[in-house]
Amino acid sequence: MTSDVLTFVDGPIGRIGLNRPKAIHALTTPMCVAVLDALETWRGDDGVRAIIIDHAEGRGFCAGGDIRMLADSGAKDGVEAREFFHTEYRMNHRLFTYAKDTVAFMDGITMGGGVGISQPCRYRVATENAKFAMPETGIGLFPDVGGGWYLSRLPGRIGQYLALTGHRLDGAETFALGLASHYMPASQVEEAKARITADPTAIAETLAALSTEPGRAALIEHRAEIDRLFASDALEDVFAALEADGSDFAATTLATLRTKSPQTMKVSLRLLRDGKGMASFADEMRQEYAVGARVVQRHDFLEGVRAVIVDKDNAPKWDPATPEGVSDHVIDQIFAPLPDHEAWTPA
């Protein structure tokens, strides 16, 4: 166990509390190992009936992964970065296939790695504090941890919109899209945990009883525009559609996309296209690992981290700088399966 993750048994409940508040609980390899170990221990423990995943303190559930470590590793041999992805994806897959009920409380920032922990859970609770996003294209990455699976299964082309823009969903929008199974005020979260601990056989009933009407889901009002403007899996077509459209929404969206990595936007579109047809979540993780192992050592990721996290000038110089400059051949290379001895495998 690492102090960055608090794992303990509370009556019939296994508790996992992310506990790295200064980093908004961003995941490290030891944190993923701690979660995996706890899940494995509780899997065969008949006394543990369900699992609650939350964060110990601070303004977010989980802001992602240890990006600076990934960039430092990617600039060298990439070994540490691949170890992190391999372990994190095993944790994601273990949660996805876990037999016992799992409940994630997304009370605050839930991005990247936080999406990977929350989305496999049977119950996913959002509050008014939720800020749900996969903003990876802004640092030359792509929506991993199962993003190709989850986003490709959203209504229409909203998944493609979220993957490319990194748009932040509020709690109401997260619930409206089914990314949260329930919505409740943050003031009710502790009551929900207490009731689940008192009766783990009635989780659905408990969450339903404490849920409230989330209010307006603003993004859903743009559903028709998103479906039309993001209809193509070719990034050049998306840009052309946005440029030809006269709406404020299209202009704002185009301005956003022009700040993102063209290469990893193309990676993201390919990921969602492939992900929709994946036979299993393990297949998705295997592909994402191969892609991640390569992208983490490419120019755009190292440059994105420099611009956004290290120097904070927010002026990354992407290479190639335009969608047209990113060839199909490069994307095919990024997506090529790894040799069996290097490939991702479930725990």
pLDDT in tens, 173-231: 999 999 999 999 999 999 999 999 999 999 999 999 999 999 999 999 999 999 999 99
Dihedral Cα 194, 195, 199, 203, nearest 10 deg = -120
Cα distance between residue 263 and residue 304, in whole Å:
12
**pLDDT confidence band for 59 (50 / 70 / 90):** confident
Which residue is catalytic, options 66, 144, 274, 300? 144
pLDDT over 70, % of the chain = 99
Q: What is the pLDDT of residues 135-179, one digit of tens each?
A: 999 999 999 999 999 999 999 999 999 999 999 999 999 999 999
* pTM (predicted TM-score): 0.97
Which residue is catalytic, options 4, 101, 136, 284? 136
**pLDDT confidence band for 2 (50 / 70 / 90):** low
- 336 in Cβ contact with 289 (< 8 Å): no
Domains, the chain: 5-335 (3.90.226.10)
Please choose, from the candidates 133, 145, 148, 73, the residue with its C-alpha nearest in 3D space to the C-alpha of residue 256: 133
Catalytic annotation on 65?
A: yes
Catalytic annotation on 136?
A: yes
Catalytic annotation on 144?
A: yes
